[in-house]
Chain A
Amino acid sequence: MLAKRIIPCLDVNAGRVVKGVNFVELRDAGDPVEVARRYDEQGADEITFLDITASSDDRDLILHIIEDVAAQVFIPLTVGGGVRQVEDVRRLLNAGADKVSMNTAAVNNPQLVADASARVGSQCIVVAVDAKQTAPGHWEVFTHGGRKNTGLDAIKWAKKVESLGAGEILLTSMDRDGTKAGFDLHLTRSIADAVGIPVIASGGVGNLQHLADGVTEGRADAVLAASIFHYGEYTVRQAKEFMRSRGIEVRL
């Protein structure tokens, strides 16, 4: 049986790993290659790099980071942040990324999802959906780190990107991100049940029970977390052992 995946997420700014708390406050948490290698040793199923570099001068640093990590860490690598055109996708894949995640660019230009997946294959294209509850049982898609409401219904948007050729959805609850209050399980389940492609739950993990809940109640195919791993509260292995104790299939 297919294992549920645990994915540590590294926010990268100008070549260094940082962790965004509600996408505003940043703290340095280490060298990307070292952190990636440590997660690989702990049994991480994938690693996601989110490039939050603002300065265009430093944008290409992520390519060097991916090259360095891919030469030493032999598990799937996903990169997101700053992807605007098919050429950006191609360059990241050539550097050693296995999947590329797009968010704002997909909202602004949905054709990008179609063009990119036609060019490099659906399996390489992840669409990141940042959703915020606007009414009970209703979520809308936000961009720009949760500041800008697109007015798009999150469930409809998820189905649309699937039809455009996305191979996976990285779903982040903007209400929960940085709160450590757990995933928005209602949102996660609503999206996971609506699409036929894998869904990664993100935003709000504060303990191991939250990770298990994302799978059992949220029906996510994978769970993503940052701070609980970065600051050594839990190792990925502990997370997997906990999930297995809850009857969840994991790779151990």
Chain B
Amino acid sequence: MSMVVVVDYGMGNLRSVAKAIEHVAPDADVRISSDAAEIAVAERVVVPGQGAMPDCMRELNARGLREAVIRAATEKPFLGICVGLQMLFGHAEEGGVTGLEILPGSIPRFPLAAMVAPDGARLKVPHMGWNRVQQAEAHSLWEGIDDGSRFYFVHSYYVEPLTPDLIAGSTHYGIPFTSAVARANIFAVQFHPEKSAQAGLRLLSNFMRWNP
């Protein structure tokens, strides 16, 4: 039986992520865990996260999970969600903290000056709601999901990878930004697949069957 750990570091709605995975993979052993040893033996690891990046980094470190997450991201199917995507990168504009630096790039805030819709209306931050994701490349996690499908977003910061080959998906909100990244065993998304109805469930289902 496939064991997947949803990493619990005290930030975010882990229950929804776990329930959504159980829904698409009824035979999987889904565990919400803050135990580094359990993360080490998991077949797959999901790192969710919401709220402020400085809080997320502090809690991750305080629970002694930093190394376990870095290790998981180097050796097994790894899915980052929202702040779980952002923390893979380096410098964050939010609180000036540094992420895990597994992937090269930074985490800026949506620039106020660019937050204008084509009709001149003000674009609100957080970017909250359903937006389109343009798939940059074919990937196992996009299987069965139409290019341009809508996913549910809620965030004020986004990732800016230094190398374009990391980009697996992009979205437009005032500016084009990276909404999914992929490298080897890592796939990470800015949106919330666990809250994105059929498209999100398909992505989670793809993740559970993924053999990078």
Contacts and interface: CB of A to CB of B under 8 A. Distances in A.
B183 interface: no
Interface stretch (B34-42, B68-76, B136-144, B149-157): B149-157
B60 to A, nearest CB: 15
Interface string A73-98: 01110000000000000000111111
Contacts of A2: 123, 127, 129-131, 153, 173
Contacts of B121: 219
Interface in A176-198: 193, 195-198
A100 to B, nearest CB: 11
A80 B83 CA distance: 25
A167 interface: yes
B121 to A, nearest CB: 6
Given A96-B19, A98-B13, A221-B129, A196 B122 contact: yes
B16 interface: yes
B129 A45 contact: yes
B96 interface: no
Nearest to B52: A121
Interface in B101-154: 117, 121-132, 150, 152-154
- Max count, chain A CB within 10 A of own CB: residue among B15, B122, B155: B15
Contact of A123 (B130, B155, B194, B201): B155
A193 B121 CA distance: 9
- Secondary structure of the A side of the interface? loop
Interface string A152-180: 00000000000000011000000000000
Contact of B128 (A70, A71, A93, A123): A123
B172 A5 contact: no
A237 interface: no
A98 B16 CA distance: 9
4 interchain residue pairs of minimum CB distance: A121-B51, A251-B130, A3-B130, A123-B154
30 contacts: A1-B117, A1-B131, A2-B129, A2-B130, A2-B153, A3-B129, A3-B131, A70-B15, A70-B16, A74-B16, A74-B201, A75-B197, A96-B16, A98-B13, A98-B195, A122-B126, A123-B155, A124-B51, A167-B128, A168-B128, A193-B122, A195-B124, A196-B124, A196-B125, A197-B125, A197-B126, A198-B128, A198-B129, A221-B128, A251-B130
Given A75-B152, A96-B16, A196-B125, 19 more contacts: A1-B131, A2-B129, A2-B130, A5-B130, A45-B130, A70-B16, A70-B19, A71-B19, A74-B20, A75-B195, A98-B13, A98-B16, A123-B128, A124-B51, A168-B128, A197-B126, A198-B126, A198-B129, A222-B129
